A and B are shown apart, each in its own frame.
Chain A
Amino acid sequence: MSVEIKTTSVEPIRNTYSAIARRFGDKPATRYQEASFDLAATTNFHYRPLWDPKRTLNDPTRTALRMEDWYSVTDPRQFFYGAYVGNRAKMQEAAESSFAFCDKRNLLTRLPEETQKQLLRLLVPFRHVALGANMNNSKIAGDSTATTVSQMHMFAATDHLGMGQYLTRIALLLDGSTGTALDESKTYWMDDELWQPLRKLVEGTLVIDDWFEITLVQNVLLDGLMYPLVYDRMDAWFGEQGAETVSMLTEFHRDWYKESLRWTNAMIKTVVAESDSNREQVQSWIDQWEPMVYEALKPIAQATTGLDVLDELRAELSVRLKKVGLQSTGVQA
């Protein structure tokens, strides 16, 4: 038996905001729509920025790409703030119980000294890459004009901060919360030959001006090669070294990457499909950066999974780009 409570209904005079009605018609809108479309100021800015007098505030020319309407880039996950934190709260809950379990059972400190060192040398320094990603995405959130685009990058910025913090906590588990393992791990990042191409690459991304170039290099090319390498293939390799438990602690990163493919793919697809000139511009950035990303990850792959794996992943990235009409060198591998 089902019980239906009768409620009084009152005739509304309109179903949604005018800006939403202009896009989607005067019908009840989703929370995502009312939160994400046409919130940002677009015109009649009062003063030129002292930090960039050539352009206005909220200036769409902060990237070389041109879109008739940047709001045509949308989020397939439909994340507005509330949906975003709701989703991440669940993910962090799972991560929390894994960290607690590893801590309680001493699963990391029980590993052989040599294996622990490998984690500090080969996994934990990726927290510095996460910090670079955090900075890059915060810049994009401040530079891109449409809320649909900007908010995805703000979410990515805080995600990367969170993921860097999980990597930090792996070291804190190892050193008994003293910070010594973190200090050691950071010396690899700063001084070890193995990391220098990647550190140089990350520092290089921090001086890119064009925000779409940054999102392409950071969120598509670098993450696109690095996440499968580190959290999938190196993860298996760590398992072979007897460190399979660490896998519990990077589950967040794997889930996150799978999900991030949805919005990055959708964004690239829409932007490249807009015009030939967009496609050519994106292609030239790929030509410039993709080989650098590959070179930056090479020493790490060589020290762990072997170069074959990186080549394989490079081919996969190339297939992913091909789907939206772009090319990269991956297929020759």
Chain B
Amino acid sequence: MASKNKKLNLKDKYQYLTRDMAWEPTYEKHEDIYPDESFEGIKIINWDQWEDPFRLTMDTYWKYQAEKEKKLYAIFDAFAQNNGQQNITDARYVNALKLFLSGISPVEYAAYQGYARVGRQFSGAGARVACQMQAIDELRHAQTQQHAMSHYNKHFNGLHDASYQHDRVWFLSVPKSFFDDARSAGPFEFLTAISFSFEYVLTNLLFVPFMSGAAYNGDMATVTFGFSAQSDEARHMTLGLEVIKFILEQHEDNVPIIQKWIDKWFWRGFRLLSLVGMMMDYMLPNKVMSWAEAWEMYYEQSGGALFKDLERYGIRPPKYQDVANAAKNHSSHQTWATFYQYSQATNFHTWMPQEEEMAWLSEKYPETFDKYYRDRFEHWDKEQKEGNRFYNNTLPQLCQVCQIPTIMTEKDDPTVFSHRQIKHEGERYHFCSDGCCDIFKNEPEKYIQAWMPVHQIYQGNCGGADVATVVEKYYHIVPGVDNMEYIGSPDHQRWLDIKGLKPLSASRDKTAAA
């Protein structure tokens, strides 16, 4: 059967190994097999123009991934056997892991489900295969993170019921509603939201803080996961870029739709990242870089170059980018202050930064820290030392879109909340910002459905009439163990025991904790 035709090049060969397996149906209608491809208004003229973002056949996928897994689990085993949790800088660091396991790992899982779905919805077989590989990668991330954290869970509090808490705890509706929003959208919006905005534009602002934070703080299990996931993420980023270029090139009518999604998902992503910002500036005993520096490097510079590149498709940078850029000097302080006063209802601890940390914050935020935040923190610190550790017993107003308490401030005046409100069909809705307010106005019928944790508590849907009962019974947060102040917590006591330091009395002596 020797053929005189030319040998296939790599690209064509890969297409034979993937999309050529598909065929145009004749017994069923195309739209019945792919019913979700048109309702968003996106027009795809020719799926053949899809460029494969990477060319992995299954056999090479199994082979490479198995090698990575083998190394990863060897390190997890060694970490557990040698009680590597004792090598971290300080037990305060583990609170970043509590946030990670309850806030991020469940969205890895949601990403798995979302990509499995779009891995079926698209009629382009090349795109389906790429999405399915991302699906199974995200399953990997969700599962290896359970295993990476497994040993910490045995030795520290607050990590024990992460997925359960993700569905219920007030601040975890921030990441949960973000991914619910993407997954309840159509397949093209899902990809614009997650593959492009999240995995491409903002990924470094999520990944680098946690993984470098682990490296700087002696956490071998987490940093090993980070290294291992790096090559997965490289694929995910390539998919993100390919997707956006493909959709934009397919039809000019797609441009305004994509622009609207970029605006929306930039803003939602930016809001979600406020949790990461506070983690980076406040929860890492050894700092990597400030949130403002991270934002400058990974958004203002890299994002700037990217959107410059997309200009030729008629795409401009995300709306309210200027507000986000200005917020980099405020958001981590505002968020930490919020969590400080509501940590009676979180699965992690908060504390006031130590003297040298405040000095670092002053240095990194020369325009804002001393002027707006230091006084407040010093005041709380003093109160705390006098036995009046501040907890706010009144629940906050939440933003109807991002679900973060409406704690953010005006771009030009950090002493005024950027609170917005509108009436829709006789009901009043509140927002943290113009960014969130616009998102609502574009799809009010979606956002009026939101399961707002504070409202649900007041409606009596969270298993108790008072916050203490909700926290214990509905959230599964063990009172006095998982929540509240770090100083004097069981984690703190245990850490001092491990380090051979005398347990502290109720009044806090910071030199002993250092």
Chain A residues close to B by CB (< 8 Å): 7-8, 10, 12-19, 31, 34-36, 38-51, 57-58, 80-82, 85-86, 88-89, 91-93, 95-96, 109, 113, 116-117, 127-128, 130-131, 134-135, 138-139, 141-143, 147, 150-151, 154-155, 157-159, 161-162, 164-166, 168-169, 172, 174-182, 186, 189-190, 199-200, 203-204, 206-207
Contact = CB atoms under 8 A, between A and B. Distances in A.
A166 B190 CA distance: 31
Contact of B132 (A128, A138, A181): A138
24 contacts: A36-B143, A39-B143, A44-B176, A47-B177, A47-B446, A51-B35, A82-B140, A85-B69, A86-B69, A95-B59, A131-B22, A142-B117, A142-B119, A150-B116, A151-B139, A154-B139, A158-B132, A161-B58, A162-B57, A162-B62, A168-B20, A172-B16, A177-B13, A186-B23
A131 B146 CA distance: 32
B135 A44 contact: no
B162 interface: yes
Most A-side CB within 10 Å, residue of B36, B62, B121, B142: B62
Contact of A138 (B3, B116, B177): B116
B234 interface: no
- Going nearest first, the 10 A-B pairs with the smallest beta carbon separation are A162-B58, A89-B66, A142-B117, A12-B154, A142-B116, A178-B5, A141-B116, A35-B143, A131-B21, A88-B62
A75 B349 CA distance: 37
B1 A181 contact: yes
A178 B116 contact: no
Contacts of B185: 50
B153 A190 contact: no
Contacts of B6: 178
B65 to A, nearest CB: 4
B164 A18 contact: yes
B27 A49 contact: no
Contacts of A16: 150, 153-154
Contacts of B129: 161
B147 interface: yes
A39 B120 contact: no
Interface in B454-479: 456, 476
B142 A39 contact: yes
Interface in B153-204: 153-157, 159-164, 166-168, 173, 176-177, 180-181, 183-187
Interface in B355-391: none
Nearest to A120: B1
Contact of B69 (A13, A36, A82, A135): A82
Nearest to A130: B21
Given A142-B117, A162-B59, A176-B3, A154 B136 contact: yes
A10 B499 CA distance: 13
Interface string B21-42: 1110111100011011001000
Given A12-B154, A35-B143, A131 B61 contact: no
Interface stretch (B78-86, B235-243, B315-323, B417-425): B78-86
Contact of A175 (B1, B113, B143, B147): B1
Given A14-B153, A51-B186, A81-B69, A161 B3 contact: no
Given A10-B498, A57-B180, 7 more contacts: A12-B154, A14-B154, A39-B109, A45-B451, A157-B132, A186-B23, A207-B32
A139 B63 contact: no
Contacts of B133: 158
A200 B73 CA distance: 45
Contact of A206 (B33, B139, B156, B161): B33
A116 B3 CA distance: 13
A190 B21 CA distance: 12
A12 B498 CA distance: 12
B365 to A, nearest CB: 33
A244 B440 CA distance: 65
A126 B100 CA distance: 44
A50 to B, nearest CB: 6
A124 to B, nearest CB: 10
B82 A7 contact: yes
Contacts of B394: none
Contact of A46 (B63, B143, B450): B450
B512 interface: no
Contacts of A162: 57-59, 62
A13 B154 contact: yes
Contacts of B82: 7
Contacts of A113: 1
A14 B69 contact: no
Interface string B110-151: 101110110111000100110011011001101110110010
A42 B113 CA distance: 13
B309 interface: no
B12 interface: yes
A116 B2 CA distance: 11
A134 B117 contact: no
Most B-side CB within 10 Å, residue of A39, A139, A162: A39
Contacts of B156: 13
A41 B163 contact: yes
A197 to B, nearest CB: 10
A166 B119 CA distance: 21
Nearest to A58: B113
Contacts of A38: 163-164
Nearest to B490: A13
A40 B63 contact: no
B451 A40 contact: no
A168 B143 contact: no
B511 interface: no
Contact of B135 (A88, A154, A172, A174): A154
Given A17-B161, A175-B3, A203 B25 contact: yes
Given A31-B147, A154-B135, A204-B28, A177 B8 contact: yes
A204 B81 CA distance: 53
A80 B36 CA distance: 30
A134 B133 CA distance: 12
B449 interface: yes
Contacts of A58: 113
A10 B450 contact: no
B312 interface: no
Contacts of A207: 28, 32-33
